[in-house]
Amino acid sequence: MAKQATRVSYGQALVKYGIPNKNVVVLDADLSKSTMTTMFKAECPERFINMGIAEANMMCVAAGLAASGKIAFASTFAMFAAGRAFEQVRNSIGYTHLNVKIGATHAGISVGEDGASHQCLEDIALMRTIPGMTIINPADDIEAQMAVKAAMELDGPVYMRFGRLAVDDINGADYKFELGKGVELRTGSDVSIIATGLMVGKALEAAEKLADEGINARVINIHTIKPIDEEIIIKAAMETGAIVTAEEHYIMGGLGSAVSEVVCAAAPCPVKIIGTDRFGKSGKPAELFEEYGLTAENIVKKSKEAVSMKK
Partner 1 sequence: MDKKRVTELSIIANKVRKNALTAVYNAASGHPGGSLSIADVLTLLYFEVMNVDPKDPKMENRDRFVLSKGHTAPALYGTLAERGFIPKEDVKTFRSIGSYLQGHPDMNKVPGVDMSTGSLGQGVSVAGGMALAAKLDNKDYRVYSILGDGELEEGQVWEQAMFAPHYKLDNFTIFIDNNGLQIDGDITKVMNPTPIDKKFEAFGWHVINCDAHDFNALEAAVNEAKATKGKPTAIIMKSVKGKNVSFMENNPAWHGAAPKEDDYSKAIAELDAIIERLEASL
Active site residues: 55
Question: Measuring CA to CA, how many Å separate 106 from each of 77, 155, 216, 255, 289?
Answer: 5, 25, 34, 18, 15
The interaxial angle of helices 199-212 and 296-308, nearest 10 deg, is 60
Contact residue for partner 1 among 30, 34, 44, 97 (CB under 8 A): 97
Complex with partner 1: residue 38 or 91, whichever CB lies closer? 91
- Spatial CA neighbour of 28 closest among 60, 57, 52, 63: 52
Q: Is 52 among the residues that bind partner 1 (CB under 8 A)?
A: yes
The least CB distance from residue 6 to partner 1, in Å, is: 27
The residue among 84 and 209 lying less far from partner 1, judged by its C-beta, is 84
Stretch that binds partner 1, among 30-38, 47-55, 166-174, 234-242 (CB under 8 A): 47-55
Q: Which of residues 150-209 bind partner 1 (CB under 8 A)?
A: none
Kindly indicate which of the ranges 45-53, 159-167, 172-180, 184-192 contains the residues binding partner 1, using the contact rule CB under 8 A. Answer: 45-53
248 vs 121: CA distance, rounded Å: 7
Select the residue interacting with partner 1 from 7, 41, 47, 164 (CB under 8 A): 47
Closest-CA residue to 27 (of 67, 88, 71): 71
Given candidates 5, 13, 25, 195, which one binds partner 1 under the rule CB under 8 A? 25
Residue 311 has, within 13 A of its CA and on its CB side, a CA count of 5
Closest approach, Cβ 27 to partner 1, in A, equals 9
Residue placing its CB nearer to partner 1 in the complex, 12 or 99: 99
Which one, 92 or 224, has the nearer CB to partner 1?
Answer: 92
| Nearer of residues 48 and 77 to partner 1, judged by Cβ | 48
In the complex, minimum distance from the CB of residue 42 to partner 1, in angstroms, rounded to a whole number: 18
CB of 95 to partner 1, least distance (A): 6
Binding to partner 1 (CB under 8 A) within 57-96 occurs at: 57, 59-70, 72, 87-88, 91-92, 95-96
The residue range among 56-64, 181-189, 213-221, 246-254 that interacts with partner 1, by the rule CB under 8 A, is 56-64
Number of residues this chain uses to bind partner 1 (CB under 8 A)? 29
Residues 148, 154: Cα–Cα separation, whole Å: 10
Residue 153's closest CA among 22, 302, 16, 17? 17
Chosen residue from 5, 31, 36, 51 binding partner 1 by CB under 8 A: 51
| Contacting residue, 19, 44, 56, 154, with partner 1 by CB under 8 A | 56
Rank residues 37 and 110 by Cβ distance to partner 1 and give the closer one: 37
| 308-to-202, 237, 270, 272 alpha-carbon distances in Å | 21, 15, 10, 12
**ω into residue 268 within 30 of 0, thus cis?**
no
Element (H, E) at 166: strand 166-168
134-136: strand order across its sheet = 48-50, 24-28, 71-77, 100-105, 158-161, 134-136, 224-226
**For residues 144 and 111, what is the distance between their CA atoms, to the nearest angstrom?**
17
Nearest distance in Å: CB 112, partner 1:
29
Task: Kindly state the DSSP code that residue 101 receives in the 8-state scheme.
Answer: E
One DSSP character per residue, 206-271 reads: HHHHHHHTT--EEEEE--EEES--HHHHHHHHHHHS-EEEEEEEESSSSHHHHHHHHHHHHS---E
Of 6 and 99, CB closest to partner 1: 99
Instruction: Kindly list the residues in this chain that would bind partner 1 in the complex (CB under 8 A).
Output: 25, 46-47, 49, 51-52, 54, 56-57, 59-70, 72, 87-88, 91-92, 95-97
